[in-house]
Structure 1
Amino acid sequence: MSGQILDVADLGVEFGHGRSKFRALHDVTFDVAPGETVGLVGESGSGKTTIGRTILGLVKPSDGKITFKGADITHAGRSERRALSRDIQVVFQDPYTSLNPSLTIEAILAEPLRAQGVDRKEASRRVRELLDRVQLPSDAANRLPREFSGGQRQRVAIARALALRPSLIVCDEPVSALDLSTQQRVLDLFIEIQRETGCAYLFVSHDLSVIRHISHRVIVLNKGSIVESGDVEKVTSDPDDAYTRRLMMSAPIPDPSAQRERRAVLEQMKVTEHAAK
């Protein structure tokens, strides 16, 4: 794809040393275009979160190259990472632990702005603009995180990620701690914000139905390797890989009877695959 904002080539990550060394990622290659959402999906331990953390500089790659807006950021230092924070932001999984409980919402949202040299008056104006964008009332600025529900706290986390007007947001399981109805509202908010701002998302989830709702393209990971990728409609409705089919069948749906049927089919798939080995 031409005009990528993010280009990941042959990315490898190893943890541990000597005989305890573990290969978490194997030659992972993909890209993200401006304004696009690329979903990373897989079970726990598949490597999807490791990819996001490596792009953010929280994990050091063993191999490969990460390019952002044409610049190599694979081994970016602390000062380079500080500068990159204007353009690459993150929304973490747990809205209950990702916000400082002792700070007001205004202080939480103003913090990244003040760190980048925005004066107090302008930061206050931007905070109210951010609260409006994520559909929270302006009086939320003077309240503490504990006064909000999980979905509202995640809206605050999204507002914090948007504060510096980034080009890319890494979304690490941002709705998995929320109930299904709240998930839907937060996902719709992500889509609306992308439509308004043009920012790109790298969206990490274990749930293929979540990825289907928000992504343009999807990358399916298993044991640190890409097993399938492509247009989200194709991959989530007619997958080629057996592992992707299992993920599709295990995704929760609101109809209990249909869910039981899915689980029965999933168990039969596992039995058949085991017998074929």
Structure 2
Amino acid sequence: MANEAIGVIGAGAMGAGIAQTFAAAGFPVLMQDLKAEALARGRASIEASLARLVKRGKIAAEAAEATLGRIATSTDQQALADRALVVEAIVENIEIKSEVIRSLDAICGPETIFASNTSSISLTRLAAASERPERVIGMHFFNPVPVMNLVEIIRALQTSDAVCEEVTALTQAIGKTPRVSKDSYGFVVNRVLVPMINEAINCVYEGLASPEDVDEMMKLGANHPMGPLSLGDLIGLDIVLDIMETLYDGFDDPKYRPSPLLKQMVDAGYLGRKSGRGFFRYG
């Protein structure tokens, strides 16, 4: 798949980061979103990210310019027809993601691979929405995408060996480290990480310690570079809640029950860094 065209659906933080990463590795990328404003914001965030890398001496200005030159944008999903791989990075909702996959079935060629950046939804259920389920796979990138090295490769029950091998090789080609997981709610990282964040929230809810002290204890006592509440704020508390609810519903196990305080924070609009307030204040 070297140098073949890549499609990315969604121009939010994850979609823009994925587009930047493929383009930086030499792949022509089409970033598609329903709204022109979202595409403009996504492109602006890529420009800002590349500018930071240039300022820090990580890449040359010419490389940043070349990366931007490889990224096209469109509000028309039909523009994805010639893509070898399409990665969706849209809202974490199985109905909406399934509808996108059904649309791509009608648009893309028979050899196109459909990858989902879902952080917790069953790939087997997503693949069932496609007429070519063997060509559906998970590519779970981590935020910020240009910086984080891991990509969880998630095999749906239907995913073929050839597609898994191709996507694993492609992940290495863009400078990331692939690790393959079977399909299960939350996969590996979020199944371990998000319940930890949820339990840290419960510690605050039960009055065991302040948010500052919970984070400091985990940094000093567990050698974590960032406290779990700060990490939850970075991820977005609404996303943390979505993942906890997916785990809770999927496994039907009370150990995955979302903290009442987590629900209250989301209801209040205290979503973390992106809203300016979560367990800590920003901006």
Structure 1 and Structure 2 fold alike (TM over 0.5): no
Structure richer in strand, relative to its length:
1
With normalisation by structure 2, the TM-score equals 0.31
With normalisation by structure 1, the TM-score equals 0.31
